[in-house]
């Protein structure tokens, strides 16, 4: 570990002003690598966190959230090389004054991608791995596994193979493997990203109880772009800016109520309720009347205080922001090539390939499944059951359902990466099994749940050109086109190794590597994970434009809020892989009265009916 001169000397004990703090950082900065003239990944960060407290760490992509988590866990200074200054203390002792193996018993860091930390083949073995390495007695290992798996709601998965789990089930498994060690500090990087709403609520409730339990009394840090779900359980929040410095710090409720514009400026995804009421404040005579509205329940109570005129105004704002967003209206009349500032990628001219050219005269259906079923080999686990759906050319579909309902499996089947156990998949009225795999690969753009699963080359430029080179269209790609794709990723060199990008940047690289060869269908599995607000807006608008130009888009996500706002139709799967619902967004909203915006609208309409 290299250090800034004369600062944070190795093996010098420095006791914090409050040794009861689980964490205490004072003017902490860190630069990766061997050049101390580079810009710090994090700069002059100061905060403290006590046992039993929950901290949200937020900020735009690349702001240093992961770097700060590495310093909290001891990976900095013990495993990552660079220059550092300031103090980083864990329970009153400098990180230098611990042996790294002892830090591993105190602090748990659950990374954004669960596969980064999984090392065994079954759920039971994964949870047991740490305890077995510390040579805990077998009976204690079994007792702890039983206890934590029930607590996290995955006891029914203990004998399941890791490769047969959904993304959310993997997330809960790796989290359980850390909780079973009973750490004093737990750092979670986007822990709810892969979870359905029920699992998300269960996890947050369990974590909140663990922070206050005598046995655990965790100090909990949650790294999160999306504040809507975690804000209610957190005591404190720190928001980093693009320079890796602290932009906002304080009580979560205070920051949400008093610093809305600052949060937006930091590209944080603020709760939609607060966003709605902030728009309402701009047209209200007494905007300070809304300062205490920081969650859904306070919003419901406030509706009772509004008069008829204000109720109508609020109703219109909810519709225009959450039901039928006006932000995309400016694209409605666009037909052909549209440039979206510096972010939009100008598409290639259509090139007719195989099935695409031969079947133009057939029906408008691009994908049809007939009694589709899929069972994982040697497992008797059916991920998809008796699924019959028809997707039209140019449709924009949101795919939702609980963890383990088969969403990712369905995308794999449509992309011809899995072969159905029974039933049929038709692509442009041809059975998929009769279509040449190479030809189908050219027609399909698949954005995997784990962005590293589709990175193959050592530089960004080579990765972007991987598809065009394989499909023989390399000569059609201009340098100007490449520069636009780079702008989508961020301010990065074409020669940079893709694996050194952040999770969000890797995801945007995946998008660029698909857009560049102009597929007919784009399949996206959890594309919003690791993305800040600005990037999500750019991604949604780019996909919307591609859809207007005829692309068929299917997005699988647990972020129902975004899917309901921006897609045209919703496919919902049941827990057992059967079809629950398939309808247009407007009808889906009408049928599902438990959705937040609909609950507010119903409350407003009831009030208006009572007044009139």
130-186, pLDDT tens digit by residue? 999 889 999 999 999 999 999 888 999 999 999 888 888 888 999 999 999 999 999
511-547 pLDDT, tens digit per residue, is 889 988 889 999 999 888 878 888 888 788 778 877 8
Query: What are the domain boundaries of the chain?
Result: 21-265, 272-326+597-611, 354-577
112-123 pLDDT, tens digit per residue, is 778 888 999 999
Peptide bond into 77 cis (omega under 30): yes
At the topology level of CATH, where does 21-265 sit? Rossmann fold (3.40.50)
In a 3-state reduction of DSSP, which class is residue 99? coil
HEC profile for 392-461?
ECCCEEEEECCCCCCHHHHHHHHCCCCCCCEEEEEECCEEHHHCCHHHHHHHEEEECCCHHHHCCCCCHH
400-421 pLDDT, tens digit per residue, is 999 889 999 999 999 999 999 9
Confidence of residue 436 (pLDDT cuts 50, 70, 90): very high
* DSSP track, 267-318: T-B--HHHHHHHHHHTT-S-GGGGTT--SHHHHHHHHTT--HHHHHHHHHHH
Mean of pLDDT values over 454-475: 92
| Max avg pLDDT among 28-32, 268-272, 361-365 | 28-32
Asked if pLDDT for residue 344 goes beyond 60, the answer is no
What is the structure's pLDDT at 190? 86
Whole-number Å distance between alpha carbons of 506 and 144: 36
Asked if pLDDT for residue 362 goes beyond 70, the answer is no
Q: Please tell me which residue, 508 or 110, carries the higher pLDDT value.
A: 110
28-51 pLDDT, tens digit per residue, is 999 998 888 899 999 999 999 999
What is the structure's pLDDT at 283? 81
Burial of 434 (0-12, 13-18, 19+ CB in 10 A): exposed
Percentage with pLDDT > 90 across the chain: 46
Percentage with pLDDT > 70 across the chain: 90
Find out whether 574 and 557 touch, Cβ atoms under 8 Å: no
At the topology level of CATH, where does 354-577 sit? Rossmann fold (3.40.50)
What is the structure's pLDDT at 380? 80
What is the structure's pLDDT at 449? 82
Prediction pTM value: 0.81
Examine domains 21-265 and 354-577 and report if their fold is the same: yes
What is the structure's pLDDT at 410? 97
Least confident of 117-126, 258-267, 344-353, 577-586: 344-353
Confidence of residue 565 (pLDDT cuts 50, 70, 90): confident
| Dihedral class, residue 396 (left if φ above 0, else alpha if ψ from -120 to 50, else beta) | beta
Whole-number Å distance between alpha carbons of 42 and 243: 7
Asked if pLDDT for residue 455 goes beyond 60, the answer is yes
């Amino acid at each position: 570990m290299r250090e800034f001169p004369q600062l944070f000397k190795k093996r010098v004990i420095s006791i914090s002003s409050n040794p009861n703090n689980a964490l205490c950082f004072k003017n902490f900065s860190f630069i990766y690598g061997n050049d101390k003239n580079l810009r710090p990944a994090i700069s002059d960060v100061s905060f403290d966190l006590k046992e039993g407290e929950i901290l949200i760490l937020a900020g735009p992509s690349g702001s240093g959230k992961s770097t700060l988590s590495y310093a909290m866990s001891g990976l900095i200074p013990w495993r990552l090389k660079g220059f550092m200054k300031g103090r980083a203390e864990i329970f009153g002792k400098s990180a230098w004054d611990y042996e790294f193996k002892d830090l591993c018993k105190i602090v748990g860091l659950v990374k954004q991608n669960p596969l980064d930390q999984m090392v065994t083949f079954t759920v039971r073995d994964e949870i047991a791995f740490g305890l077995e390495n510390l040579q805990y007695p077998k009976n204690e290992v079994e007792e702890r596994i039983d206890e934590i798996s029930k607590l996290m709601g995955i006891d029914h998965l203990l004998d399941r193979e890791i490769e047969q789990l959904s993304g959310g089930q993997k997330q809960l498994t790796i989290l359980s493997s850390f909780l079973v060690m009973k750490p004093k500090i737990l750092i979670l990087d986007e822990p709810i990203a892969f979870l359905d709403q029920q699992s998300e609520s269960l996890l947050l409730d369990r974590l909140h109880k663990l922070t206050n339990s005598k046995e655990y009394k965790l100090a909990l840090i949650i790294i999160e772009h999306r504040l809507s779900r975690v804000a209610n359980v957190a005591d404190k929040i720190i928001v980093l800016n693009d320079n890796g410095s602290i932009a906002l710090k304080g009580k979560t409720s205070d920051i949400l109520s008093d610093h809305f514009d600052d949060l937006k400026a930091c590209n944080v995804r603020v709760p939609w309720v607060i966003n709605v009421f902030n728009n309402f404040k701009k047209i209200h005579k007494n905007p300070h009347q809304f300062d205490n509205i920081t969650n859904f329940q306070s919003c419901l109570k406030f509706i009772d205080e509004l008069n008829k005129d204000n109720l109508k105004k609020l109703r219109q704002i909810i519709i225009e922001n959450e039901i039928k967003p006006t932000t995309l209206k400016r694209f409605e009349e666009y037909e052909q090539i549209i440039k979206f500032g510096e972010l939009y990628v100008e598409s290639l001219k259509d090139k007719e390939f195989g099935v695409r050219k031969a079947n133009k005269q057939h029906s408008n259906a691009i994908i049809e499944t007939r009694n589709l079923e899929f069972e994982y080999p040697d497992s008797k686990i059916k991920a998809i059951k008796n699924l019959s759906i028809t997707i039209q050319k140019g449709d924009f579909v949101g795919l939702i359902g609980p963890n383990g309902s088969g969403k990712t499996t369905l995308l794999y089947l449509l992309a011809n990466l899995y072969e159905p156990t029974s039933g049929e998949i038709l692509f442009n009225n041809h059975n998929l099994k009769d279509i040449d795999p190479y030809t189908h690969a050219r027609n399909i753009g698949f954005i995997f749940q784990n962005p590293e699963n589709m990175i193959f080359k050592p530089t960004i430029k080579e990765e972007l050109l991987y598809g065009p080179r394989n499909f023989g269209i390399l000569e059609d790609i201009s340098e100007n086109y490449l520069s636009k794709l780079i702008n989508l990723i961020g301010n990065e060199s074409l020669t940079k190794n893709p694996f050194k990008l952040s999770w969000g940047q890797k995801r945007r690289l995946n998008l660029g590597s698909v857009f560049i060869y102009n597929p007919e269908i784009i399949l996206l599995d959890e594309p919003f994970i690791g993305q800040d607000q600005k990037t999500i807006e750019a991604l949604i608008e780019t996909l919307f434009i591609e859809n207007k130009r005829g692309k068929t888009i299917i997005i699988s996500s647990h972020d129902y809020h975004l899917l309901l706002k921006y897609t045209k139709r919703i496919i919902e799967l049941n827990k057992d892989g059967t079809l629950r619902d398939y309808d247009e967004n407007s009808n889906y909203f009408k049928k599902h009265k438990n959705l937040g915006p609909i609950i507010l609208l119903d409350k407003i309409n009831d009030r208006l009916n009572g007044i009139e």
